[in-house]
Amino acid sequence: MTYQQRWDAVMMRNYGTPPIALDHGQGVRVWDTDGHEYLDFVGGIAVSSLGHAHPAIVAAVTEQVGRLVHTSNLAMHEPGLRLAERLVELLALPARVFFANSGAEANECALKIARLHGRAEGRTEIVSCHDSFHGRTLGALSVTGNAAKREPFAPLPGPVTFVDYGDVAALRAAVGPQTAAVIVEPTLGEGGVVVPPVGFLRDVRAICDEAGALLVVDEVQSGIGRTGHWFATQAEGVRPDVVTLAKGLGGGLPIGACLAVGDAGELFGPGDHGSTFGGNPIACAAALAVLTTIADDHLLDNVKRVGEHLAQALGQIDSPLVRGVRGSGLWRAVALSEPRAAEVEAAARGRGLLVNAVKPDALRLAPPLVLTEAEVDDAIPRLVAALEEVAR
């Protein structure tokens, strides 16, 4: 039996059959089980922030696995404490931290905080955006603005109201005394790396303030350097009430975090929330290594510089299939003039470049934050050739 046949025989069908089986990686490169080498511009979907097999993560995890793997939440531990302190320091706001294992779980925590915030005044509604993505658990799914993903699983928790992303007037009309929280991504990630109009986050903040609603910013994909800032909200000078993180935080180890600022951080009392594995010492040690390396190696500057180089190189591609380039930092989408992103993804893979058809007409690039200009220059001709092959 082939690898794919074995996979199909035992795995649930929720992902379809992945077209590739990866064996190992080093930096921005990965190798499949047949030994083919690829430049990885998917980065585990914006997760492998330091690339593959980074020595800082290898050392941190190796050290921790031999020292203490798990404690449960019945004991404190050094990696968790240091990581929480560091995240609060980086957010530069008085906040409390809850550790989860994933983005969806970080958002579940945020939604429960919103419930408690709204409780006294009977506010139960969450306002979210069409085309947003907040995760697959029932709570996170209930605020995910993709009807095709949501509707098969109705009934979902509610009430939830959706408005168009970036539409300030619609948001103002939707948010009121019934609103417990607004949940928003700084840029739509799964929605296709869609950047909102300038000032949108500031407007959302003002609308939440007027209505007394919490502002939950989902930085699961945008956070921890992806845009060239620790938090995308910081680029806009916006103070969130709740921030959720996951993806790049652990550099590939599973960890999510929910940071609640000021009064929002005081809402949970003992017993209100929990997770057996959340804040596991190994995941926390990996996340600390990620944060330390981003700071020590000046990776935020690298993201800005190499991200601009990438955007310029993508912008110069002359192809009838390319309609434009959007995004920020090392988080870009190539918008296509036809819904042929899956074909381009496959053609690029055939040329040793991994990119992601995030939408039928958009390719997402979310490479490791350690990417170099030389690696961009290596990738672009492969993408150009893939576009030529598909346009032919």
Does 185 help bind ligand PLP (rule: CB under 6 A)?
A: yes
Kindly provide the b/e burial profile for residues 46-67, where b requires at least 16 CB atoms within 10 angstroms of the residue's own CB.
Answer: bbbbbbbebebbeebbeebeee
Q: Provide, for the chain, the percentages of residues in helix, strand and coil under a 3-state DSSP scheme, each rounded to the nearest 5.
A: 40, 20, 40
Of 347 and 355, which has the nearer Cβ to ligand PLP?
355
Tell the smallest beta-carbon distance from residue 123 to ligand PLP (Å). Answer: 23
Which residues 6+ apart lie within 8 Å of 392 measured at CB?
none
Does 131 help bind ligand PLP (rule: CB under 6 A)?
A: no
Only one of the segments 12-20, 96-104, 233-241, 384-392 lies at the binding site for ligand PLP (rule: CB under 6 A); that segment is: 96-104
| Residue 88: CB atoms within 10 Å | 17
Looking up tokens 């996340």 gives 287
Tell the smallest beta-carbon distance from residue 339 to ligand PLP (Å). Answer: 21
Phi first, then psi, for residue 51 (nearest 5°) are 80, -165
Binding ligand PLP (rule: CB under 6 A), the pick from 108, 125, 190, 375 is 190
Does 218 help bind ligand PLP (rule: CB under 6 A)?
A: yes
Does 300 help bind ligand PLP (rule: CB under 6 A)?
A: no
Active site residues: 133, 218, 247
Does 187 help bind ligand PLP (rule: CB under 6 A)?
A: no
Total residues contacting ligand PLP (rule CB under 6 A)?
14
For residue 332, the surrounding DSSP H or E stretch is: strand 331-336
Q: Answer for the pair 140, 203: CB distance below 8 angstroms, yes or no.
A: no
Of 347 and 354, which has the nearer Cβ to ligand PLP?
354
Does 103 help bind ligand PLP (rule: CB under 6 A)?
A: yes
- Give the CA-trace dihedral at 165, 168, 171, 177, to 10 degrees: 150
Looking up tokens 């996979």 gives 7
Tell the smallest beta-carbon distance from residue 100 to ligand PLP (Å). Answer: 9
Smallest CA-to-CA distance from 253 within 50, 71, 75 is with 50
Of 29 and 226, which has the nearer Cβ to ligand PLP?
226
Only one of the segments 14-22, 101-109, 295-303, 370-378 lies at the binding site for ligand PLP (rule: CB under 6 A); that segment is: 101-109
In the beta sheet, which residues pair with residue 216? Answer: 183, 242
Only one of the segments 157-165, 218-226, 289-297, 330-338 lies at the binding site for ligand PLP (rule: CB under 6 A); that segment is: 218-226
| Residue 74: CB atoms within 10 Å | 5
Tell the smallest beta-carbon distance from residue 73 to ligand PLP (Å). Answer: 20
The contact set with ligand PLP (CB under 6 A) reads 102-104, 107, 133-135, 185, 189-190, 218, 220-221, 246
